[in-house]
Structure formats: structure tokens, C-alpha cells
Amino acid sequence: MLWVKAFHIVFVVSWFAGLFYLPRIFVNLAMVAPESTAERERLLLMARKLFRFMTPLAVLAVALGLWLWFGFGFSGGWLHVKTGLVVGLIGYHAWCGRLLAEFAAGRCTRSHVWFRFFNEVPVLVLVAISVLVVVKPL
């Protein structure tokens, strides 16, 4: 089980790296001038590649987390809250995919300021999950 836990941590860290960086690309995309198609296409290419890379990492992180859950059991209020936060992260990941599709279609109208706030969500979730896992306050 320690191998499963170690690889779960590796894939979670990798997934979070993508969740931190993809919305940052969205900030830059929202700031691109309409006439700057080369810059827009370069950022879209980066975002698409990153999303395609981070999605399997998310699947592996969740799969290994489920393996740990079934191996150790589902007990403690902290684990219920953590599971809810992970479900929220999966939703955030899917939302990033929808936003990427909107950018690709030229339909995204949100400002770079909105994306700067959107970019902070995974940071807050990471802090909450880390405290829950280490301190187990509930």
C-alpha cells in the first residue's frame, strides 16, 4: 500500500501542477489583442497540450486514491470532506476543459481579472486537502 500511496502523491502533485498552470494560460489568452492571432494560436496550442497531458494524471490520481480508500476504508469526517473537495476538483478540471473549448471557438468573454480569481481556486483546495490529510481535524 505504501507504493500505491507514493504514486498517488506523485500523480496528485502532477495534476495540481496542471491545474495551477492551465488557468494562468487562460489569463494570458484573455489578454491577447484581437489582431494577435499568432500569440492566440500559440497559447491555445499550449493549453490544449497541457489539458491532454493533465487529464490522464487526474485519472491516475483519482484511481489510486480510490484504491487507497478501498484498502484503508472510508472513515473519519476529514475523509468525507476531502472526498467532496476532490469531486469539486474534478468539476474544476472539467470546467477548464469547457473554458478551453470556448477560447478555441472564440466565444470566451470573461476578463483576465476573472481568470486571475479562477486561478486561485486550486490553491485554496490544495491547502484545505493538505490540512485535512495531515491534521485530520474532523
- Per residue in 83-108, pLDDT tens? 999 999 999 999 999 999 999 999 99
d(CA 21, CA 126) in angstroms, rounded, equals: 14
Q: What is the pLDDT of residue 1?
A: 84
Q: What letter represents residue 116's amino acid? A: R
d(CA 111, CA 63) in angstroms, rounded, equals: 35
Q: What is the pLDDT of residue 138?
A: 82
d(CA 70, CA 24) in angstroms, rounded, equals: 35
Choose among 119, 93, 103: nearest CA to 39: 103
The percentage of the chain sitting over the pLDDT mark of 70, rounded to a whole number, equals: 100
Q: Could you read off the pLDDT of 19-29 as tens digits, one per residue? A: 999 999 999 99
Torsion of CA 114, 116, 117, 122, to 10 degrees: 130
Q: Which residue has the cell 500511496?
A: 5
Q: What is the pTM of this model?
A: 0.93
Q: What is the pLDDT of residue 72?
A: 79
Residue 64 pLDDT grade (very low, low, confident, very high; cuts 50, 70, 90)? very high
d(CA 128, CA 107) in angstroms, rounded, equals: 33
